[in-house]
Structure 1
Amino acid sequence: MNSPDQEKVLGFKRREIAPSRCQPQTPDNTYAAGFAPSFTAGRELTEIGLLQQLEQEQLINKIALQIFQASDLSYILNLAVTEIRRFLQADRVLIERYHKGESLAVAESVEPSYQSCLGKSLSSLWSGPRLKLYQQGLNEVVAQLEPVHEFSWQDLLQAQARLAIPILRNQELWGVLAVHQCSHPRNWQPDEIDLLEQLTTRLAIAIHHSELHHEIQRLNDHLESEVQARTAQLQQAYEFEATLKRITDRVRDSLDVDLILQAAIRELAIVMGVRACNASLYDLEQGTSTTCYEYTSFLSPYQGRVAKFSTTQELYSQLLRGECFQFCSLIPNPERGMVAALACPILDDQGVIGDLWVLHHKDHAFSEQDIRLVKQVANQCSIAIRQANLYAKVQEEVKTLERLNQLKDDFLSTVSHELRTPLSNIKMAIHMLRTAPNPERQQRYLQILEAECSRETELINDLLDLQRLENDSYRVSPEPILLQEWLPSIMAPFLSRAQSRQQHLQVDLPSDTPAIITDRKSLERILAELLNNACKYTSPDGSIALTVQHTAAADPKQLKLHLNNVPQPVAVTTFVIRNEADIPATEIPRMFEKFYRIPKSDPWQQGGTGLGLALIKKLVETLDGSIEAESRDGWTILTVHLPMLEADGH
């Protein structure tokens, strides 16, 4: 309760009120002008009083019916103030809402000649003592507002008399129902106060119902939004699942990796509704990523572009660790601007082989469902690539087996022919010896027998040597060889042969060439076979040249030497045999195949087994060297690079 001093400041004074018809006639101290407990009007009911009571009940019932039928609180409050002003014949009736220290007029019915205060703040009129009395549930009954103390009411609301009944909601102040008389002071009757008390109770019920309705509506809206969101999630999950199934079916039914990955990228971009999607394959040795597959309808195309890992190391370091991540670009891309990106590595059992990128507008955030789908699609891309690689390897192995089978057939056919030809000649020579008429003819047939036996022996030895070389059972014994002393004895028979055929054979061996450490027997066979071929395919008056070069520090990789784990430079001796022979460039790659003979290129018709260069290639590789052939400007050039070997064995 407020102190008498506070009530005096508010312009209130005490007076005795006659008991109503429902109260015992005992004196009671209440507030005549100020806050007072509820009381009922009149002790004796007259006929007019009964009529007024009937009208009050009708008003209360009308408002109660609207509360029951309507859920719009604003409509109920406006109806209440309108009916109350009509019934009490007041100048203004308003409902003041109190919330978080602020007072606001939320409903009003006012005489047209007075200014409306609907929607205006009334906080300045709610002093601290007045608010406390409202919160205690006490009524404010002021028959005449004193200008000295109540100037705010008169200035803002033009009120001269005020009756305000608190509206309590769960024992807390919600607001007040206020009736103002603006034209003159007014003594508020007990039955009027009682009417307003009953109406505030009904309004409190209406407020409670409205709040419940709004809470139910909010919960219903929330539930409906959750159902819609869940339905959308289920629909998206269904679409994702259908997309993944289509991609999986393509991977299962096709081995065309380009078709599979392009279709997968397109399906993924469409089902996710993103702006672009692309897949790249890595070259780990070069440290590059190449965009091989792309689908976009909004952004600049990136297909075919090569990106280095070093340019965006922070991104590729995560991808190379097998991590999937999303981010938004902070610096606009010159072509694609600001985008949100989801990057996912493509992994196989050997590690990261590529990546999958999904791009959308900069404010987009990819959900867990999006990330899960992208990972699954990346896994299917990995399976497709692995299947394609396995299929390619199988096809390559099939081709290799077919080629080996063909080589086997060719080998058997050639060997059979090469072995049978000398035997046929031997058989014919023996037959002719038996019938030879004179010793000269017999001597001729004996020479044929000797030549064919040598030819047969040479073929068998070549086959055995080639077999040992291919089985790594051919043994070499490296030793120092001073070429200035050793080479002339090798060249002598070929110089004589070239002279007899009117060929020009030159040797260029620098006098300061150091000794070479290699296998003497193998080197002799290599040079003899190469010089023999040069003489064989060179026409009369043609030139043949042997050049020897020494390099103290050569790059093993550049010369394609067959050295293991030797990154540093090594000493290399190079032998270059050049001869004038018009061999087509298309025949050069096949020169080192077994039993292959260059057609129509032997002017001397010497023939041969076709094993010479194949055997030489194997010998050179056994000595850790390399051999290469080329044909240009009417010359055929064979180059042999031999590194220094260890003198104590190979």
Structure 2
Amino acid sequence: MLWLWLFISGLILVIVLLLIKIHLLRKSAKEIECSFAEKLITDSNTLIDISSNDKYMCHLANEINIQLRKLRAERRKFQKGDIELKNAVTNVSHDLRTPLTAIYGYLDLLEQEEKSEKVNRYIAVIKNRTEMLKQLTEELFRYSVILTSEEDLKIEPITINNVLEESIASFYTILKEKQISPKIIIPQKKIVRNLDRSALSRIFANLLNNVVKYSNGDLEVTLFENGEIHFINHASNLTEIEVGKLFDRFYTVNNARNSTGLGLSISKALVEKMNGTISAEYNNEMLNICIVFDL
């Protein structure tokens, strides 16, 4: 019987040691998981460190640290390149504004001169192309300023109802010309959020411009009491793939010839600067752009 008790005691001891080992491994794995998640979101040069002396867990942590160093190097390279690109766009767009203004001035002078019908057509084409170039330059400049500016927005309590009504009213003539009949649903209750009024107006203007480009003749704007704003319109010329790229920089749908591809990108950047979210859905040829500003 003694040998049986010794066997059972030895087995229990082994099980206890295995349980302790498993507990320590789980603890190390949890430390690696938490530390890795922290390193990904923080701008720090520290590496993953674990309390365990287990060679396999130490090897795992070391391999992750190697990949973490590579990831940080790539991130720094991307951030540097992104900053350089934004600064270059800002400088180029700024430098183009002066000669464009001069071109406009000379075109105005030419229009005052006597000229043939053929020359008038040429001038009209030049002016139209210059206007498109000016629009692109202005959008580039605004977009780069929004992304590179370190100044905070003027955040204050804003009644979304009022800004939305003003924005829609300013587009009344354009919507009427495009034969778009808007259906507007705004609650009586004042929806107040801490926002920048100018930025919010620009967001609504860009979304309404988007409606003018893609709507088949309808528009429904709804403001909900929870701070959601929906812009819904029938857009049969779009596809789900195109809708998925609407917020990408410089992306334009094929039939949007006069678009810079920056309007919705600017809206997204401004919404996120004010701690909101913006998304687009496309179901049954209906485009739904939703903005959410939580309390």
Bucket of the pairwise TM-score, normalised by the shorter protein? 0.5 to 0.7
Once the two structures are superposed, residues 176-231 of structure 1 have per-residue CA deviations (whole angstroms, 9 ceiling, x without a partner) of xxxxxxxxxxxxxxxxxxxxxxxxxxxxxxxxxxxxxxxxxxxxxxxxxxxxxxxx
Q: Is 1:591 the counterpart of 2:246 in the alignment?
A: yes
Residues 505 and 439 of structure 1, relative CA distance in 2, 3 Å threshold:
farther
Partner residue of 2:277? 626
Partner residue of 2:47? none
Once the two structures are superposed, residues 64-117 of structure 1 have per-residue CA deviations (whole angstroms, 9 ceiling, x without a partner) of xxxxxxxxxxxxxxxxxxxxxxxxxxxxxxxxxxxxxxxxxxxxxxxxxxxxxx
Q: Is 1:600 the counterpart of 2:254 in the alignment?
A: yes
Once the two structures are superposed, residues 428-481 of structure 1 have per-residue CA deviations (whole angstroms, 9 ceiling, x without a partner) of 98379569543994995996567755654454233223322xx3x223131342
Residues 428 and 512 of structure 1, relative CA distance in 2, 3 Å threshold:
closer
2:77 and 2:210 map into 1 onto residues whose CA distance is 30
2:186 and 2:231 map into 1 onto residues whose CA distance is 12
- SS at the partner of 1:342? helix
- SS at the partner of 1:638? strand
2:107 and 2:192 map into 1 onto residues whose CA distance is 53
Match of 1:489 among 152, 166, 173: 166
Partner residue of 2:148? 467
Q: Is 1:575 the counterpart of 2:259 in the alignment?
A: no
- SS at the partner of 2:210? helix
1:415 and 1:576 map into 2 onto residues whose CA distance is 36
Residues 596 and 383 of structure 1, relative CA distance in 2, 3 Å threshold:
farther
1:617 and 1:327 map into 2 onto residues whose CA distance is 63
2:132 and 2:254 map into 1 onto residues whose CA distance is 24
Aligned-pair CA distance for 1:382? 1.8
Once the two structures are superposed, residues 409-433 of structure 1 have per-residue CA deviations (whole angstroms, 9 ceiling, x without a partner) of 8765798589759957964983795
Q: Is the 8 A contact 2:189 2:225 kept in 1?
A: no
Q: Is 1:328 the counterpart of 2:9 in the alignment?
A: no
Aligned-pair CA distance for 1:403? 4.9
Q: Is 1:430 the counterpart of 2:106 in the alignment?
A: yes
- SS at the partner of 1:579? strand
1:380 and 1:476 map into 2 onto residues whose CA distance is 54
Q: Is 1:510 the counterpart of 2:183 in the alignment?
A: no
Q: Which runs of 4+ in 1 moved over 6 A?
A: none
- SS at the partner of 2:54? helix
1:352 and 1:450 map into 2 onto residues whose CA distance is 56
Amino acid at match of 2:246: M
Q: What's the TM-score once normalised by structure 1's chain length?
A: 0.33
Partner residue of 2:213? 536
Q: Is the 8 A contact 2:184 2:220 kept in 1?
A: yes
Residues 611 and 576 of structure 1, relative CA distance in 2, 3 Å threshold:
same
Residues 386 and 513 of structure 1, relative CA distance in 2, 3 Å threshold:
same
Q: Is 1:522 the counterpart of 2:199 in the alignment?
A: yes
Residues 634 and 479 of structure 1, relative CA distance in 2, 3 Å threshold:
same
Q: Is the 8 A contact 2:100 2:134 kept in 1?
A: no
Structure number, greater radius of gyration: 1
Aligned-pair CA distance for 1:574? 0.8
1:208-223 equivalences in 2 (<5 Å): none
Q: Is the 8 A contact 1:422 1:452 kept in 2?
A: no
Residues 529 and 407 of structure 1, relative CA distance in 2, 3 Å threshold:
same
| Greater percentage in helix | 2
Residues 488 and 514 of structure 1, relative CA distance in 2, 3 Å threshold:
closer
Partner residue of 2:41? none
Partner residue of 2:157? 479
2:243 and 2:78 map into 1 onto residues whose CA distance is 19
Once the two structures are superposed, residues 4-33 of structure 1 have per-residue CA deviations (whole angstroms, 9 ceiling, x without a partner) of xxxxxxxxxxxxxxxxxxxxxxxxxxxxxx
Match of 2:262 among 611, 627, 645: 611
- SS at the partner of 2:223? strand
Match of 1:500 among 157, 171, 177: 177
- SS at the partner of 1:575? strand
Q: Is 1:394 the counterpart of 2:69 in the alignment?
A: yes
Residues 482 and 634 of structure 1, relative CA distance in 2, 3 Å threshold:
closer
Once the two structures are superposed, residues 148-194 of structure 1 have per-residue CA deviations (whole angstroms, 9 ceiling, x without a partner) of xxxxxxxxxxxxxxxxxxxxxxxxxxxxxxxxxxxxxxxxxxxxxxx
1:590 and 1:391 map into 2 onto residues whose CA distance is 34
2:177 and 2:11 map into 1 onto residues whose CA distance is 82
Tell me which of the two structures has the higher relative contact order, counting C-alpha pairs closer than 8 angstroms and 6 or more residues apart: 2
Partner residue of 2:224? 549
- SS at the partner of 2:153? coil
Q: Is the 8 A contact 2:90 2:140 kept in 1?
A: no
2:197 and 2:244 map into 1 onto residues whose CA distance is 28
Q: Is the 8 A contact 1:432 1:445 kept in 2?
A: no
Q: Is the 8 A contact 2:211 2:219 kept in 1?
A: yes
2:188 and 2:18 map into 1 onto residues whose CA distance is 69
Partner residue of 1:637? 288
Residues 523 and 443 of structure 1, relative CA distance in 2, 3 Å threshold:
same
Structure 1 unaligned spans of 5+? 1-325, 330-337, 355-376, 552-572, 645-650
Aligned-pair CA distance for 1:507? 1.4
Structure 2 unaligned spans of 5+? 1-9, 35-51
2:277 and 2:228 map into 1 onto residues whose CA distance is 10
Q: Is the 8 A contact 1:423 1:452 kept in 2?
A: no
Residues 414 and 524 of structure 1, relative CA distance in 2, 3 Å threshold:
closer
- SS at the partner of 1:474? coil
Q: Is the 8 A contact 2:180 2:219 kept in 1?
A: yes
- SS at the partner of 1:606? coil
Partner residue of 2:49? none
- SS at the partner of 1:643? coil
Q: CA RMSD in A?
A: 4.4
Instruction: State how many pairs are aligned.
Output: 258
1:132-531 equivalences in 2 (<5 Å): 328=12, 342-343=18-19, 344=21, 345-346=24-25, 351=31, 379-401=54-76, 403-404=78-79, 412=88, 416=92, 423=99, 427=103, 430=106, 437-438=114-115, 441=120, 456-468=137-149, 471=150, 473-481=151-159, 483=161, 485-531=162-208
